Amino acid sequence: MKYLDDLLNECKFPELENNYKQALQEAVIFILKNFYVQGILVSGSIIQGKANKNSDLDIYVVNNRYECQRIQRFFNFAPTKIFINPVNKIKKYLEDELISGKTSTANMFATGFVILDQNQVIYKIRSRAKDMLLRSPNNNILFLQKLRYSIADTYENATDMIGIDDATAIILMSESVKMALQYYFRISEKWMPRHKDIFIELEKIDQNLAKLGKDFYLNPLVSEKFKIADEIMDKTIKTKGFFEWSSDIEIYED
């Protein structure tokens, strides 16, 4: 294994404000001291020049051992998330994201800054991630049916609580609406955006649905919320409760 100084000399750092620059350097030294590293990549709003007071550094570490870990620490007062995984685990994440439609790993590798890349391991993962994002998510029928069922079931539970416990009803209804909006991205063959961007991206494909979603969350009246939620269910999952379906057969071996 190379010495720490040798590995540090191979590292490249993005141009950042001094406090973030020092924080990133401290984080990289911590990583190199504690893990057998194949590659390091940093991503997020700070790297993209869109930092705010709550922004953090997102660092992905390709581990040379079959060990996974997540670490959250402050470096130079900057909140830092460190995701540590071996190559095969990262590939599995990308495969799962192709089905789920959620692309946190793919986006990190596609848009992040490469700090260290031994044997082009990050280059290969980045190429796979970029290629994946150029395509549409895999609209697995069974996955979508399960998701649709989960939304309908949550919605039905919410309607059961109206007039009995409105606070619980609103919690359940809010969850079902969020899932329904995410579901709409999937049936539109679009990747699910991060939570912060859901209405920005939804307006690009359906302005009416985006308006309904905003109206639902901003309306203070319970009765109005449920009327709007009804419209959202009609437009997305096209049902409001129990419906017939069957999962695939799973073989259980004791």
pLDDT in tens, 69-124: 999 999 999 999 999 999 999 999 999 999 889 999 999 999 999 999 999 999 99
Predicted local distance difference test score (pLDDT) of residue 51:
76
Cα distance between residue 240 and residue 149, in whole Å: 10
How far are the Cα atoms of 58, 63, 83, 88, 162 from residue 1, in angstroms, in the given order? 25, 13, 21, 21, 63
Predicted local distance difference test score (pLDDT) of residue 211:
98
Query: CATH assignment of 4-134?
Result: 3.30.460.10
Predicted local distance difference test score (pLDDT) of residue 154:
97
Read off the pTM: 0.85
- Give the pLDDT band of residue 254 (cuts 50, 70, 90): low
Domain map of the chain by residue range? 4-134, 141-235
- Please state the φ and ψ torsions of residue 101, each to the nearest 5 degrees: 85, -5
Fold of 141-235: Four Helix Bundle (Hemerythrin (Met), subunit A) (1.20.120)
- Residue with the bigger pLDDT between 236 and 17: it is 236
How far are the Cα atoms of 39, 186, 191, 201 from residue 205, in angstroms, in the given order? 37, 12, 12, 7
Mean pLDDT calculated for residue range 28-42: 96
Question: Is residue 253 classed exposed, middle or buried when 0-12, 13-18 and 19+ CB atoms within 10 A define those classes?
Answer: exposed
Mean pLDDT calculated for residue range 171-177: 97
* Per-residue pLDDT tens digits for 9-29: 999 999 998 899 999 999 999
Predicted local distance difference test score (pLDDT) of residue 1:
54
The amino acid that residue 139 corresponds to is N
Which residues lie below 8 Å from residue 32, measured CB to CB, with a gap of 6+?
4, 7, 8
- Give the pLDDT band of residue 2 (cuts 50, 70, 90): low
Q: Kindly report the CA angle at 58 between 174 and 22, in degrees rounded to 5?
A: 140
